[in-house]
Every structure is written in structure tokens, then in C-alpha cells.
Amino acid sequence: MTLFFVITVPLLGLYLLFLAWYGGKGKPLRPDEIDAFFDTLGKMNLSESEKEIILEIRSLLANDDGEEFVMQNLVRHRPKALYPAGYHYNDDARAADQRYGKAIILPLLRQGSLPIFIARRSGSFIEPEGADVWHYVAMVRYRSRRDFLRFVLAVQTQEITVHKWAALEKTHVFPVKPLVSLILVRSSVAALLALLAATLLALLR
């Protein structure tokens, strides 16, 4: 087998594994899956903030097409972090939000999902009177609504969301479907592996 095939075949296999993990095309949730999720969620010790969003989750699932989507998050921090009794953290709301952000990375990656854009507010421009003031925006890509539910259960069982609700004074979250996007994850991974292959071929020849 030539050096070209020795290098490219494993990298091609790696890319195919990435595509299988990253997904993005699946079947819509079945009614029994949705019922099982809410049965499990109902047995958990939820905060008042979490109980309030259960209806929102039902609305999110109502138009499931089984495909990937992006969740848009607009966030405003509290002046001081507000943890429930029994938690011993400082009152820095940004630090609390950072604890949440670090804790959700692995649960997201296990479901083929990841943050694709995070930006801090850097000023004002067109702002209608009475508009909410947000501290930052984050966009998270989910492989499907099914994987979003799995992520929700994962962070609930690990008590990760306590940091989120301690940090946030207000948030506006809604799903979006990109019409035009230059965030090309699949193409970027393919280009990176192609560059790696070219580099290895150049070094080993």
C-alpha cells in the first residue's frame, strides 16, 4: 500500500466517524419518547425557574423535524450571584455563569452538540425604548431536539443548572434555523484533516 493510502485512509475513516457523531439528520421524536422524558423530568427536584420552562420545552418539541438546529441565547447577569441555601460560592455572577459554561461542555459533546458562537456586548446602537439590555449572546448547535432532551436530563442529574440560575437575572432563548452561515463545521474539519494529510505526506516523502 502506498504512503498516500496509508495516510489518507485512516484520516478518511476519522472524518466519517466525525460525521456520524456530528449527525444533523434524524427522525422526529416519537410521542412515547416525549412522554418518557417528561416522566423522568417530573421525578427530579426542579427549581422554580426550571418548572416554569417545562411548557416552553413542550412548545419546542411540537414542531420537531429530527434535524439539527441552533439555540440562540441572550443573557443578562444578576448584579450578584444568587445561590440556594447550602451552596458555598462567592456572589460573582459571571463566575457562576462560567462554572455553568465549563460544566456543560462534556454533556454537549456527548450529544454531538457544541457552542458555535459566543460574544460579549461591546456597546449600543439601535435600541428601542424599554428594550432589554443583554450582557452576551451565545449560539449552541444541537444535533436534534432528541439530543437537546438528553442534554437537559444530563445537566439536571449532575446539578449543573444551579450555577446558571444563580448567575442569570434574565435570559431569552429560542431556536433558529440558519439561512446563511459561514460557520461551516463539517467543511472546517474536512479541511483540517486534508491539511494534516498533506503535511504528513510532505514530511514522510
Cα(192)–Cα(42) distance, integer angstroms = 44
Q: E strands along the chain, which residues?
A: 69-77, 114-120, 136-142, 168-176
Q: Tell me, what's the pLDDT at 127?
A: 87
Q: Kindly indicate the confidence band of residue 1, based on its pLDDT and cuts at 50, 70 and 90.
A: low
Q: Kindly indicate the confidence band of residue 66, based on its pLDDT and cuts at 50, 70 and 90.
A: very high
Helices (DSSP H) in 135-184: which residue ranges?
A: 145-157, 161-167
Q: Tell me, what's the pLDDT at 187?
A: 95
Tens digit of pLDDT for each residue in 186-195?
999 999 999 9
Q: E strands along 8-134, which residues?
A: 69-77, 114-120
| pTM score of the predicted model | 0.89
Cα(19)–Cα(145) distance, integer angstroms = 18
Cα(73)–Cα(70) distance, integer angstroms = 10
Q: E strands along 37-133, which residues?
A: 69-77, 114-120
The CATH fold assigned to 28-179 is Alpha-Beta Plaits (3.30.70)
Q: Are 133 and 76 in contact (CB under 8 A)?
A: yes
CA terminus-to-terminus distance, the chain? 14
Cα(152)–Cα(113) distance, integer angstroms = 12
* 43 or 100, higher pLDDT: 100
Cα(7)–Cα(201) distance, integer angstroms = 7
Give strand pairing partners of 142.
69
Q: Tell me, what's the pLDDT at 48?
A: 77
Cα(155)–Cα(86) distance, integer angstroms = 19
Tens digit of pLDDT for each residue in 73-132?
999 999 999 999 989 999 999 999 999 999 999 999 999 999 999 999 999 998 888 899
